[in-house]
Structure 1
Amino acid sequence: MDTQRCPLCGKANRCSIAAGRSDEPCWCFGAQIDPAALERLTPEQRDMACLCPACAGAVDAAQRTERD
């Protein structure tokens, strides 16, 4: 599994940790992830890669992080 891709849609998940920037927090650390999005993951996909902001239902949080 490509950890830089969303397991639901395959687009870039914008995860700073997977991109090797472990010195900065991932956008998802401050986001509230939609529980319905997590339910769409198979057991094999869970805890393997971040969802993208759109699939996570957390677009606002990702945009705030980009501006900071």
Structure 2
Amino acid sequence: MTTLLSPEIDTIGEMTERCDRCGAAAKLEVVLTSGGDLAFCGHHANRHRADITRVASRIRLEDGFDWAGR
């Protein structure tokens, strides 16, 4: 079950997306509660972890990525 305080978190094998902030390989993808999605490299995912969990309905992590927001 997904709530506003705890988005659903899935792990996937490999991401092909690029970070929407800097263009590096994405390690995390966010499906926004308001619609749409964003991808983040490891650096930006960890830096913006509080904002990500606040606006996400679902989060997908690349397998092996140790996200600080988890």
Does TM, scored on the shorter chain, surpass 0.5?
A: no
Bigger share in strand: 2
Superposition TM-score, scaled by structure 1 size: 0.28
TM-score (norm 2): 0.28
Larger helix proportion, structure 1 or 2? 1
